[in-house]
Amino acid sequence: MSISDHPLVRYYKSGSAFFWQVLRLVVQVLALFAGACILAMMCITCVDIVFRGIGKPIVGCYDLVRITGALAIACALPYTTAVKGHVAIEYFFLKLHRRGRIVIDSISRTVVMILFGTFAWQSMLYGNSLKRSGEVSLTLGIPLFWLSYAVALSLGITMLVTLHNLLHPGREMIKP
């Protein structure tokens, strides 16, 4: 019996595959939500323009567009990372030998994971600060602390997507 046939190895592989499938689903749901936020921003802005023309602007339009814009950016980040859609300068990277590319890619992904983890942690701290101070939006008075928590969650998921890219080099988590 080989090591790959051992029940614990099979259990680990199936559990790992399930984890990545769930993460992939979460990333896709966040991407759909980001798209809905962009659609909402467009609709709110268009309706506000029409209503301003008749002298009845939407109260809180700025607040709504600002909140949906922040959510759209935060929720699109994991998907963009999953499809490897970020801008990259690969001129010097492609000049390296295979081993050099693997080392540089692994180091850069590890640094990115550390940065996203730090950003998520700082977003949580900022959300706690907003909650303590009772910070609300300018016109509608919507509490804003939850927005920092949403950004932190998205950054945490992006960190997991980056881990997937580190463990599975050369392939996207999701095909665009």
Q: Is 15's pLDDT higher than 90? A: no
Q: Which of 39-43, 101-105, 172-176 has the lowest mean pLDDT?
A: 172-176
- Are the beta carbons of 71 and 147 closer than 8 angstroms? yes
Distances (CA, A) of 150 to 87, 123, 125, 156: 24, 9, 12, 10
pLDDT of residue 103: 85
Q: What is the DSSP letter of 4?
A: G
| All structural domains of the chain with their residue ranges | 3-167
pLDDT of residue 175: 79
Structure tokens at 79: 């998907």
pTM of this structure: 0.84
Rounded Cα distance between 14 and 111, Å, is 28
How many residues in total does the chain contain? 176
pLDDT of residue 10: 57
Q: What is the pLDDT of residues 139-157, one digit of tens each?
A: 999 999 999 999 999 999 9
Q: Is 12's pLDDT higher than 80? A: no
In angstroms, the first-to-last Cα distance of the chain is 40
Average pLDDT over residues 9-30: 81
Distances (CA, A) of 176 to 24, 79, 80, 84, 159: 12, 9, 9, 9, 19
